[in-house]
Structure 1
Amino acid sequence: MEEREKKDGKPVRPGKRELLRHRDSKVDLESKPGRTTVITKTTPQSETGGYYCNVKKCFEVNEKKMEKKKKDYDLEGRIKELREEEEKAKAYEKEKQKEKKRRAEEDLTLEEEGLTVCVDVIFGEVLGKVLKGGNGEG
């Protein structure tokens, strides 16, 4: 069962809190005045000064969560940008293929026109010789 049982659908209030009491040991405040000491997580509790703040720890945890979300968002944004770049690259390649195909068709058309001109020139020379009365010998 829970610590607080419900009476008539209402939670029961917790009992009275214990009153504050004096420390059993003396705190040494005067042995190291003006000195700076580095306190890490591995420093023994007896050598640490000050107090532990649960609010700060909670804030740090929330801050880490926000940074993680931001990184996740950045990752999604980068993925989106990469997809857009891939689409642009594909479109560029398609355009390049179309341009290459168009150039090949133009070259083919120019070759056909060139052959037609050559045939016309050759046919015109032969026809001219025939009309002049030559037998085709130069």
Structure 2
Amino acid sequence: MKNVPDSKLGNLYREHINLILKKDIDGLLAQYADDGLLISSFEKTPKYFRGRKELEVHFQGILGIEGLDTEIAFWAETENPTTLMIVEAITMQTPGGEAKMRFADSWVLNDEGRIQIHFAGMTQYPDGSVA
């Protein structure tokens, strides 16, 4: 991980990525509110995952990632409400070799410090096309 600030949300992000790398789905789900919503554009059409059961389905696919490396290109956070907006350059290993992508993630945290809303956006796909 590169360019992650030393802040409360920076620590939550680091933990999030490390949980993905450790394939710790229970740890990932614990970061989300029980009724948390994740909106994903990874498949070029919107996918909505609400609540622990649906989030678990989404994260089962994410846990297949190997050799994940992230570099933050843009980071913004607020305290009231607690929000995070980032753009990441992602490199990972796939069965077909190394894949490079760009993600744009935004989190809205609830009063308990758990992710209530997660916009998981793909801005550049592994084939090089741009969203």
**Which structure has the highest strand share of the two?**
2
TM-score, length basis structure 2:
0.15
**More relative contact order in 1 or in 2 (CA 8 Å, sep 6+)?**
2
TM-score, length basis structure 1:
0.14
Which is greater in Rg?
1
**Which structure has the highest helix share of the two?**
1
